[in-house]
Chain A
């Protein structure tokens, strides 16, 4: 899923302090799972903002809504009828949702309420870690199912670098060395010989480097 983290309330206040009618818009998908932008977080932010403005002597209309998803037209359409009631929206969806909202409601300012962090997993409640950088050409088949692009601080395709110590990364002892994980996994799969195959220079054109990306599937288009 897409993992996001809550933005400091001060930062959100700074962005929306001049509006009178604000919609706090959550998303029921990834950001709900990572407890950054679901219904609960919408409630907390909305309540905090209402109190903040009241305390400043201003009664600002702050409403709460949470959509099934903010990355799909049909769900964004659900609020079309009420959008004219607001002069700004704080979207607690990932950066995708914020932008999709902005595209759909062109004349309404949309502010991000979370920091979108990475593609990751819930290791346990309150701990989310990165697994994928969406490079567009998956190499997991060659690396024992562990991704050096997202999990090595230098995204080294032929690792580990000399800084790996006791299975940990040189930049932080809390971070596993991706290459140590790869080697251990190759061993478990009885494929350690594969370690000596040199991974070729990667084509990064399907990564961020190639510009905005598209997946086109004519077979499923209408």
Chain B
């Protein structure tokens, strides 16, 4: 797959390197230092940094503002956009705003329901869905058109991504759903946190059999456990995440003070295993409020140094 945009992430993937991305959540306040600090911690170990968009529906500094900051620092942001809070006018407008700062990556999401966040009594928008947001960005980029049909002067140059969750139900439509996103125009996928390797590999296999893996770059999502409690929480409480019992047991059997270390160890083992799995083109390391662990994980997984591309 040849790169179609100036995105560094796309170029790295196009050159056949395993890409590494991570993510930062913007602060609940206007102090940009929070973002610059997190970004400085990880910038040499990842190719691009996702900035989440009011994740779990909790109001935070805007993803776009934080992405602009990364850009000003000379880093490669991935602008996450959820369709929950903005209609098609605002989404297109923010895409152009991002493009004006040469932000070259976008991740199209529907977003968690607002009932999980700090404004459960608010409206949600969902004028378009994540699938249609993919189409929208591609239309704006490839045809230089707005949804309304007008021409865009200096269209956005964005590498278009989306999420995929191989573990959500029903499983049988997980690959068809990926196919649908590819048909909509998605170019890279960051998956939900993977713990159930077998199911993930089965998903990839079915996708591969359909020839989908040549059409999209799949970055496997990994998240280190900080504690046995977190492993249990992820297993029992987070919809769409599957944690095998043996992993929970392994964390629980570890003395409390050693659990963070064990969690990181598991994460590294997972990456090393997944590196050999066909169709995995990179990793999305989501160290939730634990960004300082990213450099170690990347290094010990043999993914450091990061390649440079023109």
Contact = CB atoms under 8 A, between A and B. Distances in A.
Nearest to A187: B172
A183 B180 contact: no
Contacts of B112: 163, 170
Interface residues of A, number: 29
Contacts of B184: 158, 198
Contacts of A167: 169-170
Interface stretch (B22-30, B122-130, B282-290): B122-130
**Most B Cβ at <10 Å: residue of A154, A159, A183, A200:** A154
B126 A165 contact: no
A170 B239 contact: yes
Nearest to B139: A201
Chain A interface secondary structure, helix, strand, loop or mixed?
A: loop
Interface string B137-177: 00000000001000000000000000101001110110010
Interface string A19-45: 000000000000000000000000000
A201 B113 contact: no
Contacts of B128: 201-202
Given A154-B124, A163-B239, A196-B180, A201 B132 contact: yes
Interface of A: 153-167, 170-171, 177, 180, 183, 192, 195-196, 198-202, 204
Interface of B: 83-84, 88, 110-113, 115-116, 124, 126-132, 135-136, 147, 163, 165, 168-170, 172-173, 176, 179-180, 183-184, 192, 239-240
A171 to B, nearest CB: 5
Contact of A171 (B113, B126, B147, B179): B113
Nearest to A158: B131
A170 B116 CA distance: 9
Given A153-B113, A180-B169, A165 B240 contact: yes
B169 A170 contact: no
Contacts of A171: 113, 115-116
B202 to A, nearest CB: 18
A159 B126 CA distance: 12
B179 A162 contact: no
B176 A196 contact: yes
A162 B167 CA distance: 8
A172 to B, nearest CB: 8
Given A154-B84, A170-B113, 20 more contacts: A154-B113, A154-B124, A154-B129, A156-B129, A156-B130, A158-B129, A159-B129, A160-B168, A163-B240, A164-B168, A167-B170, A171-B115, A177-B169, A183-B170, A195-B176, A196-B176, A196-B179, A198-B135, A201-B132, A204-B127
Contacts of A158: 129-132, 180, 184
A164 to B, nearest CB: 5
A95 to B, nearest CB: 18
Contacts of B126: 154-156
Contacts of B110: 154, 156, 161
7 contacts: A153-B113, A154-B84, A158-B129, A158-B130, A162-B192, A171-B113, A201-B132
